[in-house]
Amino acid sequence: MNQNQRSTKLSTQTLVTCAMLCAAAYAFVFVSHHVMPPMLPAVPFLKYDPKDIVLAFGALLFGPVPAFIMSAVVSLIEMVTISSTGAIGMTMNILSTCAFILPVSIIYPRKKTAKRAVFGLLCGAALMTGAMLLWNYLITPIYMGVPRAAVAGMLIPAFLPFNAIKSLLNTAGTLILYKPVVRALRGARLMPKPTEAEGKNRSATVAVAVFSAAITAACVLVIMILNNRDFVLFLGFDRAVFEFIERIFFGGGIERVLTPVLTFITHLGDSGAIWIALAVALLIFKKTRKYGLAVAFALIFMLLMNDLLLKNLIARPRPFDLEQWRDWFVYPEIISRPGSFAFPSGHTSSSFAAATALLATKKKRAYIPAFVLAALIGFSRIYLHVHYATDVIFGAAVGAALGVCGILLAGLIYKKVKSKSGQS
């Protein structure tokens, strides 16, 4: 087969694959439009659809130009079939999708690694969320004929969580499904065979799977919480945990020893102090600097996502702020009351973020003690009655996901700095 024949065959395969992806993306839009319930009660007119997952496959496979064309085609078909928002809605759909998929279409092809795929998709998620906030602030008042102040009041409690959750779910879905889809396309002879180097890094595959599962679980839990702000779904479980702890650890004298020990342990996590100290110590020495960078990034992500965004967005009161919980406690107040909201637990999130980041060391003597301490800090928050069990469980999940983000970003930066220093 000569070069022209190979090129023609490749072009035909690309066109067929792109057409299939466009059809699949539109099918998701159609089904979501007719079946999917609103994600959040604050914005019943916004529904989640996973079309960006399919279009992200095209971005990863073929690059930015085909990805943009596929986005425009799907948005155009949507406009003339099921959408009632006209050209403005089509423009918004193209902007939203392109903001999500174009970063990874540029970042990933330069070096096709799991880290670059995750980093590109997370950049896309952040860009899409920001772009949609700006779009809704500028265009929605004109399009819907409502005061801009009314739309501005919906940006943080409604548009921000919707677009952040949507983009993160699409990130997780892309990471989970990309390899199976590529294998299916290769089986149908629509993609070239893999090179020998592909598919050998199993540890990266496992890390991506765990990261994606954590993101999905976190997003689903946030949706449940935002649809049940009184936390009725969790109160029974949280109360049972409190009653179990008070029955086992209080009243028999063991609390006289356990309470000061757990109080000391919980204060180790105040403002992430012990983990910040660990990050600084690791950054000092050249041999461990990469790991210190991973821990530092994980803690920064935790501060932004957990303490500044989720706590204030969900605004769950502390256990001692609810009247019925005071009646349930035999020992209602043990340490001084924190002033922030309860969900998720910041102590637990920062602890698991740092412990997960230490997985980059690949040394059990480093990360196992860190996870043990993280678990003890999380338990201490429940024992001391300053957090519900669900605050701690969710905080651990968020922290683990952000710890993986810290590892990925530190690895990318460290490699870039190292390659530049090697060239000079």
Residue 253 counted as domain residue = yes
DSSP 333: -
Indicate whether 182 and 309 sit together in one domain: no
Indicate whether 247 and 195 sit together in one domain: no
Residue 227 counted as domain residue = no
- Give the pLDDT score at 2: 47
330 has a pLDDT exceeding 60: no
Cα–Cα distance between 81 and 198 in angstroms, integer? 40
Peptide bond into 141 cis (omega under 30): no
9 has a pLDDT exceeding 50: no
Indicate whether 240 and 183 sit together in one domain: no
- Give the pLDDT score at 332: 54
Indicate whether 171 and 40 sit together in one domain: yes
Task: Look at 123-132, 292-301, 330-339, 373-382 and tell me which has the smallest mean pLDDT.
Answer: 330-339
Indicate whether 238 and 386 sit together in one domain: yes
387 has a pLDDT exceeding 80: yes
- Give the pLDDT score at 422: 56
Indicate whether 64 and 116 sit together in one domain: yes
Residue with tokens 């983009």: 167
CA proximity to 139, closest of 101, 100, 86, 103: 86
CATH number at residue 75: 1.10.1760.20
CATH number at residue 292: 1.10.606.20
Query: HEC states along 209-273?
Result: HHHHHHHHHHHHHHHHHHHCCCCHHHHHHHHHHHHHHHHHHCCCCCHHHHHHHHHHHHHHCHHHH
Indicate whether 51 and 120 sit together in one domain: yes
Residue 30 counted as domain residue = yes
Residue 215 counted as domain residue = no
- Give the pLDDT score at 420: 65
The token duo for 20 is 């299939």
Helical residues (DSSP H) of 303-345, grouped into ranges:
311-314, 323-328
Residue 219 counted as domain residue = no
Q: Is the dihedral of CA 359, 361, 362, 367 positive or negative?
A: negative
DSSP 270: G
- Give the pLDDT score at 364: 78
Identify the band that residue 328 occupies on the pLDDT scale cut at 50, 70 and 90: low
Indicate whether 325 and 384 sit together in one domain: yes
Residue 389 counted as domain residue = yes
For range 260-271, the mean pLDDT: 86
289 has a pLDDT exceeding 50: yes
Cα–Cα distance between 301 and 25 in angstroms, integer? 31
**Angle ∠(302,305,309) on CA atoms, nearest 5:** 135
1 has a pLDDT exceeding 50: no
Radius of gyration of the chain (CA): 24
Asked if 278 contacts 303 with a C-beta cutoff of 8 angstroms, the reply is: no
Residues of the chain with pLDDT > 90, as a percent, come to: 20
Q: Of 209, 242, 268, which residue sits at a domain end?
A: 209
> Would you call 256 exposed, middle or buried from its count of C-beta atoms within 10 A (0-12, 13-18, 19+)?
exposed
Task: Look at 17-31, 185-199, 388-402 and tell me which has the smallest mean pLDDT.
Answer: 185-199
7 has a pLDDT exceeding 50: no
Cα–Cα distance between 374 and 356 in angstroms, integer? 10
Residue 169 counted as domain residue = yes
Q: Select, from the ranges 12-16, 215-219, 299-303, 315-319, the one with the highest average predicted confidence (pLDDT).
A: 299-303
Residue with tokens 């003890």: 376
Residue 123 counted as domain residue = yes
Cα–Cα distance between 347 and 344 in angstroms, integer? 9
Range of the domain at 88: 3-209
To 10 degrees, what angle do helices 86-110 and 51-62 make? 40
Count of the separate structural domains present in the chain:
2
Indicate whether 54 and 147 sit together in one domain: yes
